[in-house]
Amino acid sequence: MLTGKILVAGQWRESNRTFSGLDAASGEALKPEFFEASAGDVADACAAAAEAQKVFGTLPLKERAAFLRLTADKIDALGDKLTQRAMAESGLPEARLNGERGRTVGQLRLFADEVEDGAWQDLRIDHSDPGRTPPKPDLRMRKISLGPVAVFGASNFPLAFSVAGGDTASALAAGCCVVVKGHPAHPGTSELVAGAIAEAVAESDLPAGIFSLLSGTDYALGEALVSDPRIAAVGFTGSRAGGLALMQLAAAREVPIPVYAEMSSINPVVLMPARLKQGPADLALAYVGSLSLGAGQFCTNPGIILTVEGEATDHFLVATKDALAAVPAQTMLTGGISEAYRSGVAKLGGLDGAELLGVGEDGSATCGRAHVYTVSGADFMDNNNFGQEVFGPSSIVVRCADLAEVARVLEGLEGQLTATLHMIEDDYEEASRLIPILEQKAGRIIANAWPTGVDVTHAMVHGGPYPATSDGRSTSVGTLAIDRFLRPVSYQDMPSALLASQLQDDSSATLRRIDGEWLKQH
Amino acid sequence: MLTGKILVAGQWRESNRTFSGLDAASGEALKPEFFEASAGDVADACAAAAEAQKVFGTLPLKERAAFLRLTADKIDALGDKLTQRAMAESGLPEARLNGERGRTVGQLRLFADEVEDGAWQDLRIDHSDPGRTPPKPDLRMRKISLGPVAVFGASNFPLAFSVAGGDTASALAAGCCVVVKGHPAHPGTSELVAGAIAEAVAESDLPAGIFSLLSGTDYALGEALVSDPRIAAVGFTGSRAGGLALMQLAAAREVPIPVYAEMSSINPVVLMPARLKQGPADLALAYVGSLSLGAGQFCTNPGIILTVEGEATDHFLVATKDALAAVPAQTMLTGGISEAYRSGVAKLGGLDGAELLGVGEDGSATCGRAHVYTVSGADFMDNNNFGQEVFGPSSIVVRCADLAEVARVLEGLEGQLTATLHMIEDDYEEASRLIPILEQKAGRIIANAWPTGVDVTHAMVHGGPYPATSDGRSTSVGTLAIDRFLRPVSYQDMPSALLASQLQDDSSATLRRIDGEWLKQH
């Protein structure tokens, strides 16, 4: 059923080099072999995207929304075939991947609704005033598509942040054609999803250049894509080294372009004293559950817990150690990730002041074994390496002398995707002093929950100050993600006949700002 | 009355090096001497800004708006003293500078209204749904201040795009403290305006670190400012070389920050055939008026006119030449600018295919003499140098074979601030084919007017694809400019007592998005 071919603007191609997807658990090559995309494929895909952009960027919003919904239906229809292939390639369990397919098609449908809502266009009209000195012109603004977007599939969400994931969905919603650099860890999953998108493009009578999938194992492939002059923006989720390389490449282009890279985060969680005292054991259970979920391979994994020394913390640590001992070793996404995890955990354990609190069950070479360390607040602040992400089920509990030290540890952290407070009412006063610090450090502040789990809604921010992301002004999850791929254009004294319908006086657009006043319709 | 001192967080300082503002017309040094700010002043100003940020960033919006209005009043009250000093330092005429003061205080007041409107916070609430699988959390989003902003004063708008200009006004509106690198061409004007802001800060009982002015002549001063780890964003209007240097500096920081640089634009103007035929002489008059306004020292100066060969174009060229001959030479902003203009005009005239159509009156060494060249479409496309900005009253008319060639010339241009179409109804069909090209090239598309003149309103976009600006997703003029200095933060399951009032259920915020629906109040 799988062909291993490259998808360039509706055309399935072969090449003279191949690679294989590997079974995550066994490390064995899966069938079929996949063709490596070349620089020539990049150029063809980008040329087709630039040409298709003229049609897709100006498509009526209802048609754009219908295309997104059809894409969702096509992916849903892949059903178990998709789940089984993704399980083999990623080692993730069936229920998780079925859930992830639901999230993937759910976000495509959410963006379809968002396209139709249309408020993201930031429509504004300032009527003329010929009597003013100088005469005031008629000005009308909207946001339009930025242009073709390069999306890098992420290994840890083979569906929801890969070929048809959040970056692709939001870029298509913005009217941007997409060229995906497929992640080599799940080429079969990628081909299945790309086939679904290509079918939706064809059945919608849209230009095939709207979507291409280029898979391969060489860094040069991604570099060629980001360097192509027709690419207008980049979406990436992955390692800090990978994100930084793309940022540098994009900044060095003749025409620099924005890179939206989601890179690394250790997601601090503060256990406020009154809350901790109330129930250290239930916090420990939930903590271990969150940190080991999906073998810890989430960008929002709770990598650092901040707590104040004392009896309640001692209870929490004992309960954490006990819970940890029952955590089974889980297959990690790739051999490279499990190797990096093992060396990262060893490095963390070797830092001055780090003490191993406990470990989970051991497993095979492709598995990740859960690890929790402790360290004092002072030792943590002495060494920046404690603040570096170890991708996998590893975490560190920072035992602080008091809440003032908790605040200092937080102030010393780099930018984060999330920051969490566990608290009850007796903690609110102290918490209110920490929140302004957390607002400066993170894109999402969570109360009394664990950071894993990212809801795809309107008010979600999955972003945060550098180096959590390359651009803290944006989110990669939720409807605001569309704004990354837009730019404003203003029309001055333009005859109505030449204006887009949304900018005409009698438009039925949902939300517009007219002469400074917000006007809502329907 | 002027002291020549540096303003660091409310404190007026001296240093051991000085420079002078020069009389633009005579080139003579004006009194008093000004103290050069040092790297130490940068560090102190940024430290004070970071500290003040904690207060200013969370100030109730009504108080923030009142501070902006008081600042406007203080600047207005400087009256003729400000105009006279700016005239001497810039060589710009009295009426222009009085108008520019009006624009400056007008935009501060517009941003005060905008702060109170509050919709720029993009307030969103998604209520929880405990019955969903998995349970849906309560999520609430708002945009908050990015942090202290470095603003570079521009020489060509000593009031409206300098110390209290558009970048400063929009940054303050966003709740960001501002450290201004004063332009050395108008240090006295800068000191007067800075004094007004400092008074407004003090009378508002706000921390003095909200605003600092550091003037000086060394590039190292601006470099130190952009490199300071407490600076979160940069606003700049100036040369392409200057903007690119700041972009590189900002990208190379340990924590990269956004740079909003407005750099260069030649602002293409297309004379559509039917319109041109209707009145070549009136178009020529208006063209020469726009190109010579303010000695051509506008970022929206019409630097290139596109027209189709024929009788009407011949009429237009004769009328342009005649109108040009009557244009008096005007004092340019600085000696450096008039030298660069003279060499730029000479270089343009030396390009293959360039023919001098006419010149304005000659003047002294500090003046700019208007120049208009012609070139064929083919020759223009043969040499990228035709597309480079010459800052001053110079322009080039591109004589194209037909409208298809006009389209090709437009497609070959770099990003622009504006693009203009002169047209009547008979031209609409052809114009509708050019507009999609112009949308890709420019931030503002103008019909039947000239690009000089930038209204400060809600629907204005003064921005455009690179290299018109460093970031085509933004505008530096109009209320949308506030968005450059904000980032979104989401709060998950946060107790109401710990939420900002705008995010509480019973808030009276003007516009919020609740469970996906836009809710307007008042």
DSSP states of A252-301: TSSS---EEEE-----EEEE-HHHHHH-HHHHHHHHHHHHHGGGG--TT-
pLDDT of residue A1: 86
Contacts of B496 in chain A (CB under 8 A): none
B176 is catalytic: no
A513 forms bridges with which residues in the sheet?
A124, A518
B262 is catalytic: yes
What are the backbone angles phi and psi of residue A474, rounded to the nearest 5°? -135, 165
Q: How confident is the model at residue B378 (pLDDT cuts 50, 70, 90)?
A: very high
Give pLDDT tens digits for B105-130.
Answer: 999 999 999 999 999 999 999 999 99
Tell me the pLDDT of chain B averaged across its residues.
97
Of A516, A43, A366, the closest CA to residue B510 belongs to A516
Catalytic residue selected from A46, A177, A299, A367: A299
- Picking from B122, B457, B463, the nearest residue to A139 by CB comes out as B457
How many Å lie between the alpha carbon of A281 and the closest alpha carbon of chain B? 22
Distance CA B30, CA A491 (A): 43
Tell me the pLDDT of chain A averaged across its residues.
97
What are the backbone angles phi and psi of residue A471, rounded to the nearest 5°? -145, 95
- pLDDT for residue A521 is more than 90: no
- pLDDT for residue A522 is more than 80: no
Give pLDDT tens digits for B424-445.
Answer: 999 999 999 999 999 999 999 9
Of B456, B330, B448, the closest CA to residue B393 belongs to B330
A29-41: buried (b, 16+ CB within 10 Å) or exposed (e) per residue?
Answer: ebebebbbbbeeb
Catalytic residue selected from B262, B389, B405, B414: B262
How many Å lie between the alpha carbon of A197 and the closest alpha carbon of chain B? 26
Catalytic residue selected from B299, B367, B405, B414: B299
| Enclosing H/E stretch for B513 | strand B511-514
Of A64, A73, A265, A264, the closest CA to residue A170 belongs to A64
- pLDDT for residue B270 is more than 80: yes
Count Cβ atoms below 10 Å from residue B517 Cβ, excluding itself: 12
- Picking from B431, B460, B467, the nearest residue to A490 by CB comes out as B460
3-state secondary structure of A76: helix
Q: How confident is the model at residue B521 (pLDDT cuts 50, 70, 90)?
A: confident
Count Cβ atoms below 10 Å from residue B129 Cβ, excluding itself: 12
Structure token pair of residue B390: 């010459």
How is A214-253 classified by DSSP, letter by letter? EE-S-HHHHHHHHH-TT--EEEEES-HHHHHHHHHHHHTS
Contacts of B474 in chain A (CB under 8 A): 488
Contact between chains at B447 and A513 (C-beta distance less than 8 A): no
What value does the mean pLDDT take over residues A148-153? 98
What are the backbone angles phi and psi of residue B451, rounded to the nearest 5°? -70, -25
B518 forms bridges with which residues in the sheet?
B513
Which ipTM value was assigned to this complex? 0.97
Contact between chains at B470 and A256 (C-beta distance less than 8 A): yes
What value does the mean pLDDT take over residues A201-211? 98
Distance CA A145, CA A56 (A): 9
With CA atoms as reference, the chain B residue closest to A425 would be B495
Contact between chains at A486 and B495 (C-beta distance less than 8 A): no
Q: How confident is the model at residue B452 (pLDDT cuts 50, 70, 90)?
A: very high
Query: How much of chain B, in percent, has pLDDT values that exceed 70?
Result: 100
pTM over 0.95: yes
Q: How confident is the model at residue A68 (pLDDT cuts 50, 70, 90)?
A: very high
Which residue out of B426, B487, B519 would a mutagenesis test of the A interface target, given it has the greatest number of A Cβ atoms within 10 Å?
B487
Give pLDDT tens digits for A83-142.
Answer: 999 999 999 999 999 999 999 999 999 999 999 999 999 999 999 999 998 899 999 999
Instruction: List C-alpha distances in Å: A73 to A64, A107, A496.
Output: 15, 12, 38
| Enclosing H/E stretch for A361 | none
Alpha helices in B253-370 (DSSP H): 273-278, 280-292, 311-325, 335-349
- pLDDT for residue B305 is more than 90: yes
How many Å lie between the alpha carbon of A91 and the closest alpha carbon of chain B? 22
- pLDDT for residue B133 is more than 90: no
- pLDDT for residue B230 is more than 80: yes
- Picking from B431, B457, B516, the nearest residue to A498 by CB comes out as B431
Contact between chains at A492 and B444 (C-beta distance less than 8 A): yes
pLDDT of residue A133: 87
- pLDDT for residue B78 is more than 90: yes
Strands (DSSP E) along A291-450, which ranges?
A: 304-308, 330-331, 355-359, 367-368, 371-376, 394-400, 416-422, 442-447
B372 forms bridges with which residues in the sheet?
B358, B395
What value does the mean pLDDT take over residues B458-485? 97
What value does the mean pLDDT take over residues A205-225? 97
- pLDDT for residue B273 is more than 90: yes
Give pLDDT tens digits for A353-390.
Answer: 999 999 999 999 999 999 999 999 999 999 999 999 99
Of B265, B305, B213, the closest CA to residue B461 belongs to B265
Contacts of A471 in chain B (CB under 8 A): 258
Distance CA B10, CA B211 (A): 8
- Picking from A58, A140, A453, the nearest residue to B459 by CB comes out as A140
Cβ–Cβ < 8 Å for A454, A111: no
B494 forms bridges with which residues in the sheet?
none
What value does the mean pLDDT take over residues B228-252? 96
Strands (DSSP E) along B33-152, which ranges?
A: 34-35, 124-126, 139-145, 149-152
Rg of chain B in Å (alpha carbons): 24
Q: How confident is the model at residue A273 (pLDDT cuts 50, 70, 90)?
A: very high
- pLDDT for residue B522 is more than 80: no
Contact between chains at A471 and B258 (C-beta distance less than 8 A): yes
Altogether, the residues listed in chain A come to a count of: 522
Distance CA B47, CA B454 (A): 35
Count Cβ atoms below 10 Å from residue B393 Cβ, excluding itself: 31
Count Cβ atoms below 10 Å from residue A477 Cβ, excluding itself: 27
